[in-house]
């Protein structure tokens, strides 16, 4: 496919997925061939300890639709996605799990959605919206996932039901306009946050999530939960500061009520520092609430910066296209004159 235009790039993070190769790659290829589009699959080896990269390299030697990428250290899904996106050449970039917990047919569905008139900039597969489903997913993991997405969906901008899933499709120009930084699974939250802030259109579609059939699950509850909680506080600082500030103010009011109760019963001891402590707690609570308000203003400012960066990028792209057309208009007639002079 060297020199040809690529329509679809599929980025697949991999860590110790040798057991699923090459069967799952072949399944992806079959689904992509059904679209009639030119495609490439970019498996990104996230520092696997097994033969994942070796098998990918062997496959790539005889199949130019497979373009492996990777690095020696295990860094996380976020880094793997960022590396894959950087390597992608397609107009549309799709992402999915290496174990195909989302069936490969979703790849063709996402491409169709992105090619429609008035298509969104990003599409997100969701097993938790109407029409979506889950099959053979361990009950504990499903409970954690549902609960986590329910909470995060209320914190994140937009009305997306599944904010942590990897099954997604992007216009290449849209995903590259975002300055992504995350190395872990919080990258999914980062993309939605920055994409919404930049004004990109995001559409959710129903998908079916199936439990892993082969290999070991890479899900790490503690690390994933902690990273998502920290990102949520960063995304909505009023959540943390509002909670702490409200608790402090309630504690101060409780102290005030207790002081009034003691005073009414003649039991108030002026030597006890209850009044001073009440004032300190109330002032601290109001200051923490103020920090939350200022944090929310900074988030709004950050979103506005993303919008400006997006507009700036679009303007620069248009200028580049105009410059290219002007260059062609000048060079082509000159080239024809030079050829005519040679003939004469």
Establish if 148 belongs to a structural domain. Answer: yes
How many independent structural domains does the chain possess?
2
Strand duo 39-46 + 8-14: pairing: parallel
Establish if 3 belongs to a structural domain. Answer: no
Paired tokens of 336: 């024809």
Strand duo 168-171 + 122-126: pairing: antiparallel
Q: How many CA atoms lie within 13 A of 43 on its CB side?
A: 32
Phi, psi of 133 (to 5 degrees): -160, 165
CB–CB of 5/39 below 8 Å?
no
CB–CB of 161/149 below 8 Å?
yes
Paired tokens of 17: 């997925």
Neighbours of 153 (CB within 10 A): 18
DSSP SS3 for 299 = helix
Tokens 């409200």 belong to 246
Same domain, 248 and 138: no
Determine the pLDDT at residue 339.
Answer: 43
CA distances from 37 to 29, 30, 46, 278 (A): 11, 12, 28, 69
Establish if 162 belongs to a structural domain. Answer: yes
SS3 content of the chain, % helix, strand, coil (to 5): 55, 15, 30
Paired tokens of 338: 């030079």
Strand duo 92-95 + 168-171: pairing: antiparallel
Strand duo 69-71 + 39-46: pairing: parallel
Same domain, 201 and 75: yes
**CATH classification of the domain holding 59:** 3.90.550.10
Length of the chain as a residue count: 344
H-helix or E-strand spanning residue 202: strand 202-206
Establish if 1 belongs to a structural domain. Answer: no
- pLDDT tens digits for range 331-340: 555 554 444 4
Same domain, 17 and 165: yes
Same domain, 243 and 229: no
Cα(284)–Cα(251) distance, rounded to whole angstroms?
A: 11
Same domain, 219 and 252: no
DSSP SS3 for 129 = coil
Q: What is the pTM of this model?
A: 0.74
- pLDDT tens digits for range 161-173: 999 899 999 999 9
Tell me which of 185, 217, 235 is where a domain ends.
Answer: 235
Q: Domain containing 270: what range?
A: 237-339
Ranges 29-43, 108-122, 184-198, 317-331: which has the least confidence:
317-331
Phi-psi region of 169 (alpha: psi -120 to 50; beta: other; left: phi over 0): beta
58 or 261, which is more confident: 58
Same domain, 54 and 132: yes
- pLDDT tens digits for range 250-274: 998 998 898 888 888 888 787 778 8
237 or 41, which is more confident: 41
Cα(2)–Cα(38) distance, rounded to whole angstroms?
A: 11
Establish if 243 belongs to a structural domain. Answer: yes
CB–CB of 272/278 below 8 Å?
no
Same domain, 109 and 209: yes
Per DSSP, helices labelled H in 185-236 are 187-197, 221-235
Stretch 204-209: mean pLDDT, rounded?
96
Same domain, 174 and 264: no
- pLDDT tens digits for range 75-131: 999 999 999 999 999 999 999 999 999 999 999 999 999 999 889 999 999 999 999
* Orientation of helix 23-33 relative to helix 105-115, angle to 10°: 30
Tell me which of 235, 250, 282 is where a domain ends.
Answer: 235
């Amino acid at each position: 496919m060297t020199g040809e235009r690529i329509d679809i790039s599929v980025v697949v993070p991999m860590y110790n997925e040798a057991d699923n190769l090459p069967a799952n790659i072949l399944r992806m290829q079959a689904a992509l061939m059904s679209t009639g589009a030119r495609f490439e699959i970019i498996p990104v080896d996230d520092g696997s300890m097994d033969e994942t990269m070796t098998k990918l390299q062997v496959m790539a030697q005889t199949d130019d639709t497979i373009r492996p990428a990777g690095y020696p250290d295990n860094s996380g899904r976020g880094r793997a996605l960022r590396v894959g996106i950087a390597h992608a050449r397609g107009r549309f970039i799709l992402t999915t799990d290496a174990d195909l917990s989302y069936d490969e047919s979703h790849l063709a569905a996402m491409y169709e959605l992105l090619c429609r008139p008035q298509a969104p900039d990003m599409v997100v597969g969701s097993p938790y919206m109407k029409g979506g489903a889950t099959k053979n997913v361990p009950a504990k993991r499903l409970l954690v996932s549902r609960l986590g997405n329910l909470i995060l969906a209320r914190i994140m901008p937009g009305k997306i039901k599944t904010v942590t899933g990897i099954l997604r499709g992007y216009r290449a120009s849209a995903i590259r306009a975002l300055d992504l930084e995350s190395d872990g699974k919080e990258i999914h939250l980062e993309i939605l946050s920055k994409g919404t802030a930049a004004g990109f259109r995001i559409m959710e579609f129903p998908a079916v999530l199936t439990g892993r059939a082969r290999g070991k699950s890479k899900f790490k509850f503690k690390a994933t939960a902690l990273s998502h909680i920290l990102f949520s506080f960063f995304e909505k600082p009023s959540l943390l500061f509002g909670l702490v500030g409200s608790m402090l103010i309630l504690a101060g009011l409780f102290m005030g009520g207790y002081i009034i109760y003691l005073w009414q019963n003649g039991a108030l001891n002026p030597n006890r520092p209850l009044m001073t402590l009440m004032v300190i707690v109330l002032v601290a609570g109001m200051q923490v609430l103020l920090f939350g308000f200022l944090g929310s203003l900074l988030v709004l400012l950050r979103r506005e910066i993303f919008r400006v960066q997006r507009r700036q990028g679009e303007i620069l792209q248009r200028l580049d296209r105009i410059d290219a057309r002007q260059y062609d208009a000048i060079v082509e007639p000159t080239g024809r004159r030079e050829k005519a002079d040679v003939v004469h």
